[in-house]
Amino acid sequence: MQRLTLISSPLCPFVQRAVIALKEKTEPFDIVYVDLADKPDWFLKISPLGKVPVLKVERENAEPAIVFESAVILEYLEETVPGPKLHPEDALDRAQHRSWIEFCSQMLGDFWRLTTAKSEPESTAALATLGDKLQRLEMVVAGPFFSGASFSNVDAAFAPLFRQIDMLEAVVDIGFTRRLPRVDAWRRVLLARQSVQEAVPADYAQRYLSHLRERGGYILQERD
Ligand SMILES: N[C@@H](CCC(=O)N[C@@H](CS)C(=O)NCC(=O)O)C(=O)O
């Protein structure tokens, strides 16, 4: 038996990966939010990189243990939590899934650069980088989920990115996936998934949009 506590921030897409995996497996867990703008000492003590997510694992007769980095947390949950398998059986398939999870992490960075870019050229460059990666995804997505009929950790990793894209598209008509039928369909399937919808606080949309505006990126200034 283990007791799991996820140290979180309400808007963080990396935390959502773990929440989605836990919900897919219907595993109970606690969640504790920290203010990343004013990180408490207890958090800095347990988070070596000063980032969320951090998973605290409490087991009988053992000191609480800490696991950090979202992709590593997903691996740990897969190995220790019962419920549906979110990683393929085959080693090569598993390795490829890990590769695409890393690809998604890079895209989250690209998306951050897009929404914080302060000038038109920077913004255009970030948009092109994201567009290229989305096109590459179009070539590998099987549908309805990333690798076919069953939901996997790759889906858990990408769903928070698609949520952010949705939020931005609610105010800016970019049509990120307009000409990418496979990614477009995949994105919709993920955002309709219960585990994905329940992975954020009820006021997420409102908070995320105001956070986006606070970033002061060119892409939103143009539309104010
Ligand atoms: N590579 C990390 C990235 C996590 C990350 O960037 N978390 C952000 C919030 S979304 C954070 O904690 N930022 C605080 C900071 O960098 O000071 C992972 O996959 O877990």
Domains and CATH numbers, the chain: 2-80 (3.40.30.10), 91-221 (1.20.1050.10)
Evaluate if residue 39 carries a pLDDT over 90. yes
Distance 49 CA to ligand 1 centre (A): 8
Q: Atom 16 (ligand 1): residue with closest C-alpha?
A: 51
Q: Is the CB of 67 under 6 A from ligand 1?
A: no
- From the list 83, 85, 196, 101, the residue with the least C-alpha distance to 146 is 101
Alpha-carbon gap, residue 159 to 13, rounded angstroms: 9
Evaluate if residue 222 carries a pLDDT over 80. no
Distance 147 CA to ligand 1 centre (A): 26
Q: Which of 12, 55, 130, 165 is catalytic?
A: 12
- From the list 203, 168, 165, 160, the residue with the least C-alpha distance to 184 is 165
pLDDT range class, residue 45, cuts 50, 70, 90: very high
Distance 171 CA to ligand 1 centre (A): 25
Pocket test for ligand 1, best of 8, 47, 52, 73 (most atoms within 8 A of CB): 52
Q: Atom 12 (ligand 1): residue with closest C-alpha?
A: 51
Q: Atom 13 (ligand 1): residue with closest C-alpha?
A: 51
Distance 70 CA to ligand 1 centre (A): 9
The phi-psi region of residue 68 (left if phi > 0; otherwise alpha if psi is between -120 and 50; otherwise beta) is: beta
Q: What's the pLDDT at 110?
A: 98
Cis peptide before 160 (omega within 30 of 0): no
pTM of the model: 0.97
Q: Is the CB of 16 under 6 A from ligand 1?
A: no
The mean pLDDT value for 33-58 works out to: 98
- Catalytic residue at 104? no
Evaluate if residue 94 carries a pLDDT over 70. yes
For residue 67, give the H/E element and its range.
Answer: strand 65-68
Q: Which ligand 1 atom sits closest to the C-alpha of 53?
A: 20
CB-based contact 186:6 (threshold 8 Å): no
Q: pLDDT for 57-92, tens place per residue?
A: 999 999 999 999 999 999 999 999 999 999 999 999
The mean pLDDT value for 164-178 works out to: 95
2-8 vs 54-59, strand pairing mode:
antiparallel
Q: pLDDT for 13-32, tens place per residue?
A: 999 999 999 999 999 999 99
Q: Is the CB of 36 under 6 A from ligand 1?
A: yes
